[in-house]
Amino acid sequence: MFRIRRRTALGLLAGGVSAAALGAELPDGIPDSGTLVRRLPSPVERENRAAGEPWWPTQDPGRDSDDHRRQIQGYASATSVAPGESIDFHVAVDPVGRYRISLHRLGWYGGAGARTVLTSPEFDGAPQPVPPADPTTGTIACRWPVSWTVRIPDDWTSGLYQAVFTSADGWRACTPFVVRDDRRAAAIAVVLPVTTWQAYNQWPMDRQHGRSLYNGYSETGRQTPDTRAMEVSYDRPYAGDGIPTHLARDHDAIQWLERNHYDVSYATSLDLHSGRLDPTRHAGIVFAGHDEYWSVQMRRAAERAVAASGSLAFFGANSSYWHIRVRSAADGRPERVVACAKSADDPGLDADGPTIRWREIGRPEQAMIGVQYNGIVDGRQPLVVRSAEHWFWAGTGVADGDRIPGVVCGEADGLDPTAPRPAASTATVLSASPYRTRYGRRQVQNTHLYGTPEGGLVFASGTLCWTAALNQPGYRDERIERATANLLDRITGRTRPVADTPARG
């Protein structure tokens, strides 16, 4: 008789499978009656039974704040908080006037997309300055006063939340934060890539001041990498209406996971960096979106999870590409600055090496993920199926060579024969999709899966548009949905979930 791990056994019981039916022996402390066990709803599943509503009004798009007039904007004091902890919001309003802050949890909610959990009283708002960039690093860090402090109630469900700032005359902007659940270990921990969100943030995009890790402005107001920042701060709003670049990819993953009743909780890349998220407590870690900027501590944590027989699923592409350093703010508050010099001439050089591409410091992303970034896709291209007989594609009806339209776009990953491969008990190429890069080069995208010697799985979609195929109207594809469910069911040990709505492509 074989013996299964406690974490897998709990997932099997939650899915309604008995150990006796498997011929398995449960770990100590888990009873087996020999009968099917009814699956209990997870906290996220219970949360989604509540009535929802759209979190971002669409009927009046002309009232979104912009970085030229900065009608209303704000930022949060933390990227994630747990129940019982507090978070501050810092808001600027121009001209002087009244405003409110509403907090919304993003999820499925029967298709509504969000639920409003709290609304502030009215406050008096005033303009706040754009501070000068640090002359050495290019960092723009605001020191606006605290506008509202919220203690996170004990009954708030883990998730991605948005604070929406709305002025009395109807202008609006927002900023994201995550509520963690440090008290229980969900089957899947979803990591939201806040380091990458901040790397792309060029607030304020006013043709004069804004800087990201990619661009700044020339004297003529043209975007240029020559004046980009080497360090960026969380102590500032996200540009424009406050919705980070690429957040929609994460939101698609969140909606699909919650629509399909997976037992999930949420954390950020900084939680992985700091150790607040212990990936070994979960059956699998899902990196939901574009997760490009990784610290040494993040990578060590992910590798530790794999060594402990855990599983990783990268739903995006171009993951763990840039090596970063996470620093404290000037006043000592931890984890408020992301540093990436993108040059061996790194003024913050330390024992972990310069903040350049991981592959340039001898640790290519392929060694952990199985594939690695190979280009920006010109348009939307089909995903070409390989290994159709593999369990990953079970129930999809695909055959080798089938083309699933529009799945390969944005950025893509592929196998690099010159880069080291991970230690694997099995490795399978699940797609081989020829594409042309934005710059005219011919490349091949690969979706990839390998099994680790310790018994885990590491999946890489190899495209930034995988989550669109899970959730986006017009791009949603039932074959990608079923294959993703096959993967997560194998990782968590649960029976196949039933979605609330049929797939439409």
- Please state the φ and ψ torsions of residue 119, each to the nearest 5 degrees: -130, 135
Residue 56 confidence (pLDDT): 83
In this structure, the strands spanning 97-106 and 123-125 are antiparallel
What share of the chain has pLDDT > 70, as a percent? Answer: 89
Query: The tokens of 25 are what?
Result: 């022996």
- What are the pLDDT digits (tens) for 351-408? 999 999 999 999 999 999 999 999 999 999 999 999 999 999 999 999 999 999 999 9
Grouping H, G, I as helix, E, B as strand and the rest as coil, residue 172 is: strand
pTM for this predicted structure: 0.91
What mean pLDDT, rounded, does the chain reach?
91
Mean pLDDT on 292-304 = 97
Task: Give residue for tokens 């912009």.
Answer: 66
Mean pLDDT on 322-346 = 96
Report which residue type is found at 402: D
Report which residue type is found at 15: G
- What are the pLDDT digits (tens) for 169-202? 999 999 999 999 999 999 999 999 999 999 999 9
Contact 78, 185 (CB under 8 A): no
Residue 60 confidence (pLDDT): 62
Residue 349 and residue 371: Cα distance in Å, rounded? Answer: 28
Residue 163 and residue 241: Cα distance in Å, rounded? Answer: 12
Task: Give residue for tokens 């806040």.
Answer: 194
Query: Taking 90 as the threshold, does the pLDDT of residue 441 lie above it?
Result: yes
Helices (H) and strands (E) in the chain, counts: 10, 30
In this structure, the strands spanning 411-414 and 442-445 are unpaired
CA 38 to chain centre: 31
Residue 280 DSSP code: G
Domain borders along the chain are: 2-40
CB atoms within 10 A of CB 102: 17
Residue 388 confidence (pLDDT): 98
Residue 288 and residue 269: Cα distance in Å, rounded? Answer: 11
Residue 401 and residue 381: Cα distance in Å, rounded? Answer: 14
Residue 84 and residue 80: Cα distance in Å, rounded? Answer: 12
Residue 61 and residue 68: Cα distance in Å, rounded? Answer: 17
Q: Which secondary structure element, helix H or strand E, spans residue 316, and what is its range? A: none
Query: Taking 80 as the threshold, does the pLDDT of residue 62 lie above it?
Result: no
